[in-house]
Amino acid sequence: MGDGNTDRFIYFQASCTNVKYSGSNNFSNQILRNRSFQGQVLNGADFSGADVRGCNFTNAQLAGANFIGAKIGLSRRQIAVLSAGAIAICLVVGDVLTRLILGAQGQLPDSRSWPFVLLLYGVLSAAGFASAIASKQPKTSKAGRLARTISAILSGALLGFFYAGTATNNNSQAAIAGMAIGGVLMFFVSWRIRSQFAQVAIASAGSVATYAAAFLFSATASAFLSTHKLFWGMCFGLLSLLYLWLAFVSFSAIVREIGNAEGTSFRGANLTDAKFDINYLNLKSKI
């Protein structure tokens, strides 16, 4: 970089540096929050100093556009929608997992439901662990994508198991079928759908699964300790503490997921020679 002015922005393919702004494309210092410019031709437009948080520039033509000093990112409305969605997902998944855990309490190894109790332990443990791993890995890393996909599949499987079983008066075959369908659907969502809400929903469901695993282990530890089986009580107590910490890590990831969401969308836009603040570009490179 040379002088102070050039340090403030970057040029994309600097071949259109002489583009002139037209009067109709002058949005300088305007409040444009949540407006859609999708597919519009805005070559050379001046958005300097404008508030374009929440704006949609998908597939727009923005060659030579000036975004120096513009406010880019999430609008308050987007934050409210994503936060409300995360809370709703947490409540729904939390209700389902609470019912499953309470239904598993008191089941004995010789009961017909015992295999499903063991399945609940295994799926909750794996879903919670995968969610915590995903929250600590970059989104683009293979480990992060794999862990996020596993967490989504297992969370979907638990939801499918519960709703299919409830709808068929606890028919085990229907519950297993629902489990498979829920897992497949969430695999598709995690692997193919890149929307902000889908990513927040997956993080929210995984976080609740992690906390539910901590709750299940805690209840199991209490049951063992109440019958003076100290070894197993201590083992499950330690597992409960571990998953409680993993739940904290996972819930923190929800806040980070919302904060890193793409508020102003430039997906598919032509940004040849468009000018942005260096701070914005550095932020995008880290997400």
Per-residue pLDDT reduced to its tens digit, 28-58: 999 999 999 999 999 999 999 999 999 999 9
Of the candidate ranges 4-8, 60-64, 222-226, the one whose mean pLDDT is the lowest:
4-8
pTM, rounded to two decimals? 0.78
Q: With beta carbons less than 8 A apart as the criterion, state whether 266 and 57 touch.
A: yes
Which amino acid, one-letter code, is at 196?
Q
Q: Which residues contact 249 (CB under 8 A, 6 or more apart)?
A: 132, 135, 136
Which amino acid, one-letter code, is at 30?
Q
pLDDT score at 95: 96
Per-residue pLDDT reduced to its tens digit, 185-199: 999 988 888 778 888
User: Rounded mean pLDDT of 78-101?
Assistant: 94
Q: pLDDT > 70: what percent of the chain?
A: 88
Query: Can you tell me the distance from the alpha carbon of 21 to that of 65, in angstroms, rounded to the nearest whole number?
Result: 8
Neighbours of 149 (CB within 10 A): 18
Q: Which residues contact 60 (CB under 8 A, 6 or more apart)?
A: 37, 38, 39, 40, 41, 42, 266, 269, 270
Of 135-139, 193-197, 251-255, which one has max mean pLDDT? 251-255
Question: What does DSSP assign to residue 283?
Answer: H
User: Rounded mean pLDDT of 95-106?
Assistant: 91
pLDDT score at 17: 36
pLDDT of 74 above 90: no
Per-residue pLDDT reduced to its tens digit, 170-182: 898 999 999 999 9
- Of 66, 69, 68, the closest CA to residue 25 belongs to 66
Residue 217 tokens read as 């282990």
- C-alpha dist (Å) from residue 118 to 101, 107, 216: 11, 10, 12
- Is the pLDDT higher at 240 or at 15? 240
Neighbours of 71 (CB within 10 A): 19
- C-alpha dist (Å) from residue 2 to 8, 9, 93: 10, 11, 54
3 state SS for 58-92: CCCECCCCECCCCECCCCHHHHHHHHHHHHHHHHH
Q: pLDDT > 90: what percent of the chain?
A: 61
